[in-house]
């Protein structure tokens, strides 16, 4: 025994020593080294994809999508009542402090210079430009929620000397952050490349971001200072001087016009049916000249999401659960004007308010409305994927004795009344059931028409649009209006309205209020509503927490079939407007919500960080 | 094997219980035993606010981390905080309550229990409020006094609820009168709420009046009043 083990030992020493150098000095199989990444344009592109994917949004198809139901565009009709009962928006609601992503991008910008030896100068410049675009995007997301934040553009390295004070950067002013975004975008726009791409940034994407950011800065400079007591900190971490307003508006207008005048993008006008056309304009992924930047998904590569599963109308759902989560409000539906330019309030009662108006068909009450209503909302009498979405709350039976109608509603979706006609639609609405609309409407925008996309097994690869030309026209119009260029302002907004069916030159005069409504209806469910109200400084008035304020309360529309045999109104339709039955607390936006609170741990780690007002 | 088992089992149990019992003793701090209590007052009378809406902040210097202790004010204007003995600074947070901003710090020396009145200057206060019931109705009549002229009136509301917590978020009925219809503050104002049939069948309801100053987020309220319906 002993002998054999001695031989074995000797043998082993021979074998191992012979190839020891290669054996111990191998390349790791599970770690990618900096030199490998920064000399391989495919790996850099992969890294970029990661950063694009991590771009923050308050509400998108994947991030915080449910919060579309937390404002006045929609309410929540799925299980739980959280979003219908927000007593007041908490001060940390829009908080964002994503310096992890900022650091990753800073690191990338530095490393591509240090390690990228085999890339040519052109590639290096282009990739660096794209990283800087992403960093500007993140800083815009930070400044619009938090006010001025520390502008960190280099990686911060601790030298373990026991005193980290030299790493603690105070907040820059709100003005400085917006100026930084503008100068970065101007610096990189000629280097970006990616011509014609709508999922990676090119020069027009940079200008689209600049157009939006400068519009925000301009309106903050103007409207914050028009408040009775402007929101500001002594160090201007929050609060842009009023004198800067015109400069910012001019920059926004110039950026918008660079995109418009380039001729590279057009409003989508392919489908002759204007309502369908507006739906296609946002959701069609091929041959769509309107989209400037989108976050794309692909089912076959497992990049997909459940937005359609959660929000499809009840009777067209393909799964046995969910559906109907985000259901648009009557408030939004009535903000879509009639095509003759009159207020969009639905006509449900006669002129003297003594009786209903009786309609032959459910959809007739929506006749001659802005085509964008159809493209955004599924309303009674319309279809989805070719299947009628049956929306009817019940029947109104005439009671001869009391000379009035009596409501009959059923808890069984798709049930019939005694006379053989429909009682309650297979898509509701229902007053207290979940997973069926409570407001009388369903969401169409961003809900996928592809077969099986509402099943949990397959899901949807609908894309999320970050910038599109429609917004740029409205940005240009608003900036021009603020700069006193009324003719340009009217020209741009009319182009957007023309696509919605209003005819050419539908507006002859323009006010900011009109433009505010135009943004509400064009950009509904595209993550604009909160930020628009915040920058115009009207959020605390529109959502003032008062149950008597129709803007702060979510309304519903319940259609009924009339049962009155022998009378001309028999089997016609009437509509009741009511406060949505599941809606509890009026929307309440406080002054402390204009800037979100900074987390205590951030202040603990860096005492130079100043708190935001009211926190 | 059996003998060892007999021997080790009690040993193990003993050890386990020793660990379980002893661990809570040493490493935890004592809870704060001192209490700061107080009221938000105007001219000696407490000021009513929305429950869970208004906060005061307490600060204490001298430690590595400088973190505020938020103290939420109850709807009747009282507040309380459990603290350690020490010297604190109490601050009326700007733009938070329905009163004129006043950032003067109040020094608090806490030894044991302390009661404190925090004075504020509201924009409007209620006077002479009386409540009455009608047939399926509840009314409130009151005078509104403008204390500070820097801001204008927006509206007054009457809220009716089934519990003592009554405010814009917790109520069954709510009526309002906007400032445009209130021309003369020297005259009493009457608000009448019509109760729903289910509410009218109850033995009692609670009524509470509130006033909203334009440009100020929070409202100022009167005391909730129990109104017997039968």
A129-140 pLDDT, tens per residue?
A: 999 999 999 999
Helix axes A203-224, A121-146, angle to 10 degrees: 20
What DSSP designation does B167 have?
B
Distance CA A226, CA A330 (A): 31
Q: What local confidence, expressed as pLDDT, does residue B1 receive?
A: 45
Radius of gyration of chain B (CA): 26
Chain B residues close to A227, C-beta within 8 Å: 215
Sign of CA dihedral A119, A123, A128, A130: negative
Domain boundaries defined on chain B: 34-119, 124-228
Q: What local confidence, expressed as pLDDT, does residue B217 receive?
A: 83
Distance CA B86, CA B97 (A): 26
Could you read off the pLDDT of A420-447 as tens digits, one per residue?
Answer: 999 999 999 999 999 999 999 999 999 9
> Is the predicted pLDDT of residue B95 greater than 90, yes or no?
no
> Is the predicted pLDDT of residue A224 greater than 80, yes or no?
yes
Chain B residues close to A600, C-beta within 8 Å: 67
Distance CA A15, CA B195 (A): 96
Give all strands (DSSP E) within A32-100, no chain letters. Answer: 74-76
**Nearest chain B Cα distance for residue A176, angstroms:** 25
Cβ atoms of A334 and A344 within 8 Å: the answer is yes
Could you read off the pLDDT of A189-204 as tens digits, one per residue?
Answer: 999 999 999 999 999 9
CATH topology identical between B34-119 and B124-228: yes
* Rounded average pLDDT over A380-394: 96
Q: What local confidence, expressed as pLDDT, does residue B2 receive?
A: 47
> Is the predicted pLDDT of residue B37 greater than 50, yes or no?
yes
b/e A288-323 (16+ beta carbons within 10 angstroms → b): bbbbbbbbebebeeeebbbbbbbbbbbbbbbbeebb
* Rounded average pLDDT over B4-33: 67
* Rounded average pLDDT over B140-154: 93
Q: What local confidence, expressed as pLDDT, does residue A1 receive?
A: 55
* Rounded average pLDDT over A482-489: 97
CB-CB under 8 Å, A229 with B168: no
Q: Tokens for A524, please give them.
A: 């509904």
Could you read off the pLDDT of A590-603 as tens digits, one per residue?
Answer: 999 999 999 999 99
Q: What local confidence, expressed as pLDDT, does residue B27 receive?
A: 63
Could you read off the pLDDT of A248-294 as tens digits, one per residue?
Answer: 999 999 999 999 999 999 999 999 999 999 999 999 999 999 999 99
Tokens 């100022």 sit on residue:
B220
From the list B151, B168, B212, the residue facing A586 with the nearest CB is B168
- Which CATH architecture best describes the domain B34-119? Sandwich (2.60)
Cβ atoms of B188 and B142 within 8 Å: the answer is yes
**Nearest chain A Cα distance for residue B168, angstroms:** 6
Question: Which residues, 6+ apart, have CB-to-CB distance to A141 below 8 Å?
Answer: A55, A56, A57, A96, A98
Strands B113-119 and B34-42: parallel
Return the half-sphere exposure (C-beta side, CA atoms, 13 A cut-off) of residue A470.
27
Distance CA A324, CA B76 (A): 41
* Rounded average pLDDT over A214-235: 95
**CATH of segment(s) B124-228:** 2.60.40.2060
* Rounded average pLDDT over A130-156: 97
Indicate the helix (H) or strand (E) that contains A577. strand A573-579
Residue (of B194, B182, B177, B92) closest to B136 by Cα position: B194
Chain B residues close to A547, C-beta within 8 Å: 168, 171, 174
Q: Is this model's pTM higher than 0.80 or not?
A: yes
Distance CA A140, CA A174 (A): 10
Q: For residue A538, give the chain B residue with the closest CA.
A: B215
Distance CA A371, CA A380 (A): 15
* Rounded average pLDDT over A522-549: 95
Please state which of the ranges A91-105, A332-346, B57-71 shows the lowest mean pLDDT.
B57-71
CB-CB under 8 Å, B95 with A228: no
Task: Among B55, B217, B218, B219, pick the best mutation site for testing chain A contact (most A Cβ within 10 A).
Answer: B217
Q: For residue A231, give the chain B residue with the closest CA.
A: B95
- In sequence order, what are the beta bridge partners of B119? B41
- How many contiguous H segments (helices) and E segments (strands) does chain B have? 2, 16
Cβ atoms of B94 and A590 within 8 Å: the answer is no
SS3 A533: helix
> Is the predicted pLDDT of residue A486 greater than 90, yes or no?
yes
A to B CB pairs, distance under 8 Å? 49
- In this prediction, residue A6 has a pLDDT band, given cuts at 50, 70 and 90, of confident
What is the DSSP secondary-structure string of A237-272? SS---GGGHHHHHHHHHHHHHHHHHH-S-------S
CB-CB under 8 Å, B174 with A547: yes
CB-CB under 8 Å, A545 with B169: yes
From the list B94, B175, B212, the residue facing A614 with the nearest CB is B94
The reply to whether B225 touches chain A by the CB within 8 Å rule is: no
**Nearest chain A Cα distance for residue B11, angstroms:** 45
* Rounded average pLDDT over B84-105: 90
């Amino acid at each position: 025994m002993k002998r054999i083990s001695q031989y074995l030992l000797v043998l082993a020493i021979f074998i191992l020593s012979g190839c020891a150098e290669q054996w111990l000095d191998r390349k790791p199989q599970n770690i990618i080294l900096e030199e490998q990444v920064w000399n391989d344009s495919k790996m850099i592109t992969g890294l970029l994809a990661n950063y694009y994917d991590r771009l923050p949004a308050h509400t998108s198809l994947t991030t915080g999508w449910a919060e579309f139901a937390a404002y006045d565009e929609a309410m929540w009709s799925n299980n739980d009542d959280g979003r219908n009962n927000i007593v007041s928006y908490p001060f940390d609601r829009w908080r964002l402090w994503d310096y992890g992503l900022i650091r990753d991008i800073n690191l990338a910008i530095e490393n591509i210079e240090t390690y990228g030896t085999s890339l040519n100068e052109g590639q290096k410049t282009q990739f660096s430009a794209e990283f800087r675009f992403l960093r500007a995007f993140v800083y815009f997301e930070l400044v619009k929620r938090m006010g001025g934040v520390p502008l960190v553009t280099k990686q911060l390295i601790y030298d373990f000397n026991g005193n980290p004070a030299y790493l603690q950067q105070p907040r820059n002013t709100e003005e400085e952050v917006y100026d930084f975004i503008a100068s970065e975008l101007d610096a990189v726009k000629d280097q970006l490349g990616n011509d014609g791409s709508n999922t990676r940034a090119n020069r027009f994407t940079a200008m689209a971001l600049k157009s939006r950011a400068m519009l925000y800065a301009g309106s903050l400079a103007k409207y914050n200072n028009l408040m009775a007591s402007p929101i500001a900190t002594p160090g201007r971490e929050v609060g842009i001087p009023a004198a800067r307003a015109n400069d910012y508006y001019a920059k926004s207008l110039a950026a918008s016009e660079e995109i418009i005048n380039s001729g590279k993008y057009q409003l989508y006008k392919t489908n002759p049916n204007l309502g369908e056309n507006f739906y296609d304009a946002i959701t069609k992924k091929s041959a769509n000249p309107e989209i400037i930047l989108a976050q794309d998904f692909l089912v076959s590569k497992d990049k997909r999401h459940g937005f359609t599963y959660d929000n499809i109308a009840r009777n067209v759902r393909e799964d046995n659960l969910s559906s109907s989560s985000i259901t648009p409000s009557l408030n939004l539906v009535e903000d879509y004007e009639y095509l003759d330019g009159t207020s969009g309030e639905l006509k449900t009662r006669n002129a003297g308010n003594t009786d209903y108006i009786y309609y032959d068909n459910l959809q007739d009450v929506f006749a001659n409305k802005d085509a964008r209503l159809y493209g955004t909302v599924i309303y009674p009498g319309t279809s989805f994927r070719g299947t009628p979405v049956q929306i009817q709350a019940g029947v109104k039976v005439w009671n001869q004795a009391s000379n009035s109608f009596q409501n009959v509603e059923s808890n069984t979706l798709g049930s019939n009344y005694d006379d053989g006609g429909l009682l309650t639609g297979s898509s509701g609405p229902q007053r207290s059931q979940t997973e069926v609309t409570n407001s009388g409407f369903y969401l169409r925008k961003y809900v996928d028409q592809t077969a099986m996309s509402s099943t949990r097994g397959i899901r949807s690869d609908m894309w999320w649009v970050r910038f599109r030309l429609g917004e740029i026209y409205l940005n240009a119009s608003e900036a021009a209006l603020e700069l006193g260029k009324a003719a340009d302002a009217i020209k741009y907004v009319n182009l957007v309205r023309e696509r919605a069916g209003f005819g050419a030159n539908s507006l002859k005069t323009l006010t900011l209020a009109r433009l505010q409504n135009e943004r509400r209806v064009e950009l509904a469910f595209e993550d604009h509503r909160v930020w628009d109200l915040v920058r115009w400084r009207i959020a605390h008035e529109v959502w003032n927490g008062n149950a008597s304020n129709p803007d702060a309360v979510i309304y519903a529309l319940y259609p009924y079939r009339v049962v009155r045999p022998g009378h001309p109104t028999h089997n016609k339709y009437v509509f009741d407007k009511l406060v949505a039955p599941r809606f509890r607390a009026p929307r309440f936006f406080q002054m402390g919500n204009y800037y979100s609170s900074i987390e205590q741990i951030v202040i603990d780690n860096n005492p130079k960080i100043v708190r935001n007002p009211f926190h | 094997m059996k003998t060892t088992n007999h021997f080790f089992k009690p040993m193990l149990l003993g050890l386990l219980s020793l660990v379980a019992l002893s661990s809570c003793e040493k490493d935890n701090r004592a809870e704060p035993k001192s209490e700061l209590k107080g009221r938000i007052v105007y001219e000696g009378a407490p000021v009513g606010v929305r429950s869970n809406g208004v906060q005061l902040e307490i600060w204490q210097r001298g430690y590595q981390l400088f973190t505020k202790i938020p103290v939420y004010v109850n709807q009747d204007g009282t507040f309380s905080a459990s603290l350690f003995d020490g010297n604190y600074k109490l601050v009326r947070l700007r733009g938070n309550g329905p009163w004129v901003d006043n950032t003067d710090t109040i020094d608090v020396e806490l030894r044991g229990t302390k009661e404190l009145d925090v004075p504020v200057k509201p924009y409007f206060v209620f006077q002479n409020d009386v409540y009455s019931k009608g047939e399926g109705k509840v009314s409130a009549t009151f005078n509104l006094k403008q204390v500070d002229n820097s801001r204008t009136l927006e509206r007054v509301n009457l809220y009716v609820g089934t519990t003592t917590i009554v405010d814009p978020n917790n109520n069954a009925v709510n009526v309002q009168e906007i400032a445009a219809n209130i021309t003369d503050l020297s005259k009493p104002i009457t608000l009448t709420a019509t109760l729903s049939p289910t509410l009218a069948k109850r033995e009692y309801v609670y009524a509470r009046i509130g006033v909203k100053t334009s440009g100020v987020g929070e409202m100022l309220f009167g005391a909730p009043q129990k109104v017997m319906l039968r």
